[in-house]
Every structure is written in structure tokens, then in C-alpha cells.
Amino acid sequence: MLRQYGYRVWMSHKGTIPLDSTCSALENCIRAVERADAVFGIINGRYGSGKTGDDLAITHREILRALELNKPRFFAVHRDVVIARQVLRQFRNEASGNPKHHSFFKPTAVLDDIRILDLYESATQSDVALANRTGNWVQQYSDAGELLLFLESQFSDIERLRTIIAAHAELAKKEPV
């Protein structure tokens, strides 16, 4: 759909990101985020690749880098992830004496890794006071039709997106490094 609107879409799993053979998969993906004009991410029950042990998945690192760079970003999250977060909140509550990541969690058909909830919380910037959050909209969807409606609403007006990208670029020039 995005290509039909005229966008060049980079997706590692489709082999469309510009690759540098001297870099790792993680480095290539992070470079793609850095070079991208805007970032669109879908958060579902699969945490992603590139993780070992307590390492973050490449997708999670991409989202964190997009946030760090204040890239124009658009995220969608499957309803199951939102519901799982609500259900598991009581077990992830550090005030109750439980660490954020628990040995109780076993992969399921809904979530293959508990860190999906951390990824979602990164995208919503849940660690930032609500009044100070910007770019934290993460659209919930339950089926492909809802996801396509979100894509159409956000990306069909290319000029609107160009304006957003230009405004972000100007802001980035003014921010101290």
C-alpha cells in the first residue's frame, strides 16, 4: 500500500533496506532508521530477530533509535498486545517486589516474548509523564482492515507527510547534539 502511494519502503525481512556487507544485520537496520525520512512500525505478538538472552531484538532497537532521533514515526499495535499488557501488569509491577521481567513467562500464541510489552511501552513512551509525551501515538488494530485504514489515513496525503518530515528536520537542526 505504501509503495502505491509513492513511498520507498525499507523492510529487512523483504530485503529492501540498503545493505552494507561490512555491517551486521543490526547495524544495517539501525542505519536504515537513521537514513529514513519517517518510521512505520507494527507491534504484534512476535518480538523479532537478533536477540539472545536479555538482548533487545533488532525491531526494539530500531524503535529506540527512532525515538532518540525524534524521527517522524507511526506505530500500530495489535489489540492482543494491549490486552496482554493489561492482564500481565499485576505480575510486572516492580512495586509488588517482582522484577519487570519474570521467569514465570512462557512463550504463547499471543506473545512469544514478554519484552514485546517493553517494546510497546517504548513506543508509547510510558516512562515519560503524559503531559510531556509527543510522538507517542500507537494505533491499536485488531485486523488487517483496521491496520490498512490507519495506513491510508496517515500516508495517503504525501504533502502532509512531507510537511511533517520538514518540520522534524528543522527541529533537529536546532537541537544540541
Q: What is the pLDDT of residue 102?
A: 61
- Per-residue pLDDT reduced to its tens digit, 77-110: 999 999 999 998 877 766 555 555 566 788 889 9
Given a cut of 70, whether residue 1 has pLDDT beyond it is yes
C-alpha cell belonging to residue 173: 537542526
Q: Give pLDDT tens digits for 57-83.
A: 999 999 999 999 999 999 999 999 999
- Please state, in angstroms and rounded to a whole number, the distance separating the CA atoms of residues 117 and 28: 25
What residue type is assigned to position 141 of the chain? Y
* Highest mean pLDDT (candidates 97-106, 111-120, 168-177): 111-120
pLDDT at residue 98, as a whole number? 53
Closest of 74, 59, 64, 73 to residue 113, by C-alpha:
59
pLDDT bracket for residue 111 (50, 70, 90) = very high
Q: How confident is the model at residue 161 (pLDDT cuts 50, 70, 90)?
A: very high
Predicted confidence band of residue 177 (pLDDT cuts 50, 70, 90): low
pLDDT for 164 beyond 70: yes
Residue 98 CB: number of other CB atoms within 10 A?
Answer: 13
Question: Which residue did the predictor score with more confidence, 98 or 111?
Answer: 111
The helix/strand/coil state of 39 is: strand
Residues 2-48 have pLDDT tens digits of 999 999 999 988 999 999 999 999 999 999 999 999 999 999 999 98
pLDDT bin (cut points 50, 70, 90) of residue 144 is: very high
Degrees to nearest 5, angle at CA 74 with 72 and 76 = 165
**Least confident piece of the model among 84-93, 111-120, 144-153:** 84-93
pLDDT at 137 over 90: yes
